[in-house]
């Protein structure tokens, strides 16, 4: 069985400004720099990426973006390219359910972004997950497998990929998936990777995301196929986020 370093990634979404973001990372650094054996990632809003990347340079905390364009440059108002992000971020979230639902991102577009990011040396954290109606229909596994396979169309840089299983019904609701549900679905994700790239299946990291907090993280991380967490709300609280890092790593 491949050794997989756990990941704790914080998705700040459209929260904080540059000043409060800097304060937050300084505190996270203070509380978690002594913890090793875990990849610690913060994904601030784009406007704060440069100053946060400069502040965290040389520390164990990595910076990610929340989105990236699949285009190189040109008339794409409001977008950021991989060449703008390269050197500042190590990771980028692609296909978050909020982008799929509110901005109409399709799995084809997500695949193009993931490929573009990986080609630029930026690891995609590729999100997939079913909504409540799909969960209630009993077809969550099939839905997630299809969504992930479509979101990986043409993808080949397997070493760089991180998958995040994030059931939409668990995001920001305080109602996390049970560890059994999360384990079952992370296996579904891993099996999709096995189908597309058999050699990568046991080494690809598959995270769970959706209302992860210091009270449920240990049980989630104890599952054999859950390699960490993508965290929204709790990533904005120094105390909580530091506890998640501590739970995944060792000091
Ligand atoms: C997310 O948005 O990726 C997320 C997991 O949010 P929360 O932790 O707040 O549910």
Distance (Å, rounded) from C-alpha 115 to C-alpha 89? 16
In a domain, 1, yes or no: no
Number of domains, the chain:
1
Instruction: Show which residues are catalytic.
Output: 96, 166
Euclidean distance between the first and final Cα of the chain, in Å? Answer: 24
pTM of full prediction above 0.95: yes
Which residues sit with their C-beta closer than 6 Å to ligand 1? 11, 166, 171-172, 209-212, 230-234
Which residue, 214, 219, 246, 218, is CA-closest to 231?
Answer: 214
E-state strands within the chain: 7-11, 39-43, 61-65, 91-94, 123-128, 162-165, 205-209, 228-231
- Nearest C-alpha to atom 6 of ligand 1 is from which residue? 232
Q: Residue 198 sits in which domain range? A: 7-248
Ligand 1 centroid, distance to 57 Cα (angstroms) = 26
Token code pair at residue 34: 């002594």
Residue 111, in any domain of the structure: yes
Going from the Cα of 75 to the center of ligand 1, the distance in angstroms, rounded, reads 31
pLDDT in tens, 31-49: 999 999 999 999 999 999 9
CATH of the domain at 218: 3.20.20.70
**Does a structural domain hold residue 133?**
yes
Using the atom order of ligand 1, give the atom closest to the CA of residue 234: 8
In a domain, 167, yes or no: yes
* Ligand 1 atom with minimal separation from the 164 CA: 3
Cα–Cα distance measured from residue 141 to residue 118, given in angstroms and rounded to the nearest whole number: 26
124: in domain: yes
Which DSSP letter does residue 210 get?
S
Q: Whose CA is nearest to atom 8 of ligand 1?
A: 232
What's the CA gap between 237 and 215, in Å, rounded?
Answer: 14
How confident is the model over 96-151, as pLDDT tens digits? 999 999 999 999 999 999 999 999 999 999 999 999 999 999 999 999 999 999 99
Q: Is residue 160 part of a domain?
A: yes
Residue 2 lies in a domain: no
β-pair partners for 228: 7
Specify the DSSP class assigned to residue 177. Answer: P
182 part of a folded domain: yes
Distance from the alpha carbon of residue 170 to the mean position of ligand 1, in angstroms: 8
């Amino acid at each position: 069985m491949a050794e997989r370093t756990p990941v704790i990634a914080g998705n700040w979404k459209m929260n904080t400004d540059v000043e409060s973001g800097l304060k937050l990372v300084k505190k996270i650094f203070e509380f978690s720099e002594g913890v090793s054996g875990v990849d610690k990632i913060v994904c601030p809003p784009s406007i704060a990426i440069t100053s946060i990347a400069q502040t965290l340079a040389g520390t164990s905390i990595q910076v990610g973006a929340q989105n990236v364009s699949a285009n190189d440059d040109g008339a794409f108002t409001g977008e950021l390219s991989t060449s703008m992000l390269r050197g500042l971020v190590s990771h980028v979230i692609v296909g978050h359910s909020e982008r799929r639902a509110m901005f109409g991102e399709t799995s084809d577009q997500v695949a193009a972004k993931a490929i573009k990011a990986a080609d630029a040396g930026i690891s995609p954290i590729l999100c997939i997950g079913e909504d409540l109606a799909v969960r209630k229909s009993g077809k969550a596994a099939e839905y997630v497998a299809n969504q992930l396979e479509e979101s990986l169309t043409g993808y080949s840089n397997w070493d760089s990929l991180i998958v995040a299983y994030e059931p939409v019904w668990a995001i920001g609701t305080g109602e996390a998936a049970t560890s059994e549900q999360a384990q079952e679905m992370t296996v579904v994700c891993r099996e999709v990777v096995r189908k597309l790239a058999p050699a990568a299946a046991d080494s690809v990291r598959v995270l769970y995301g959706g209302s992860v907090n210091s009270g449920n993280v240990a049980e989630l991380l104890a599952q054999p196929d859950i390699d960490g967490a993508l965290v929204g709300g709790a990533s904005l609280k120094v105390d909580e986020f530091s506890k998640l890092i501590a739970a995944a790593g060792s000091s």
